[in-house]
A = this chain, B = another copy of it.
Amino acid sequence: MNSANIDNIQLWGETLRLMVELAGTAAFALSGVLVAAQKRLDAVGVCMVGFLAAFGGGTLRDLLLDVRPFFWVRHMEMLWGVLALCMLAMLFLRSHHFALTRKAIEWPDALGLGLFTATGVHQALLSGMPALVAVLMGLITGVFGGVLRDIVCNEIPTAFSDHRPYAVCAFIGGWAYVGLWQLDAPGWLALLACITITVGLRGLAVWRNWQLPAWQLD
């Protein structure tokens, strides 16, 4: 955790980091629209759940790490982008008689999970947090957009009741980031490894229907 290392992270650029944030925001916005559509919310409600899913996790990350201004204040074009995305998604849903199966929501959700986990770990390391806290910040950033989305839709959050690994994937991906970073690996490598591992594990869990160890009462 020498300062050369921190410079290293800052140098590989805001660009890659911004792209990851943009893609994660879009993925979660889409998942929000799909969940809200399933609950038959009105047109404005669908957009608001899209916004909450897209910006909720990152805003909570910035609040907890005391980072101001928020990323959506620094990059206001994201706000217009998410608004456009929500409207296009609604038009598409209506015209294509798209089946709102649980599966359709899982893929953008898995993508957003990996992308936001990476930005959370990244930001926490920049703020000088210790390893375990950085991993937890990644997990919170990745998971809480979806949790807020499910709470306002009056559902028990998928992240807690899916019975397939979800938060665990973010936890492992976060440790991969921290591990590579402590080995002085280049910043882009740690970021991409975290994303690949998190999305890959969640994807495998969905595809192969992995189950968490059963523990429940009969």
Q: Which of B42, B155, B165 contacts A44 (CB 8 A)?
A: B165
Stretch binding the partner chain, chosen from A14-22, A33-41, A182-190, A194-202: A33-41
Give the interface size bracket for A toward B.
35 or more
Query: What is the CB-to-nearest-CB distance from A122 to chain B, in angstroms, rounded to a whole number?
Result: 17
1/0 contact string of A180-218 vs chain B (CB within 8 Å): 000000000000000000000000000000001111111
Query: Provided the pairs A63-B63, A151-B152, A167-B48 are in contact, do residues A215 and B90 lie with their beta carbons within 8 angstroms?
Result: yes
Q: Is there contact, CB below 8 Å, between A156 and B44?
A: no
Task: Answer whether residue A70 sits at the interface, using C-beta atoms and an 8 A cutoff.
Answer: yes
B153 touches A153 (CB 8 A): no
Q: Contact partner of A73 among B76, B91, B129, B147, CB < 8 A?
A: B129
0 or 1 for each of A30-56: is its CB under 8 Å from B? (1 = yes) = 000000110111111110110000000
Q: Are A151 and B153 in contact, with the CB atoms below 8 A? A: no
Given contacts A39-B161, A42-B212, could you give 16 more A-B pairs where the C-beta distance is less than 8 Å?
Answer: A43-B214, A44-B165, A44-B168, A45-B157, A45-B162, A46-B160, A48-B159, A49-B160, A64-B70, A73-B129, A76-B133, A93-B217, A97-B217, A100-B217, A154-B154, A154-B155
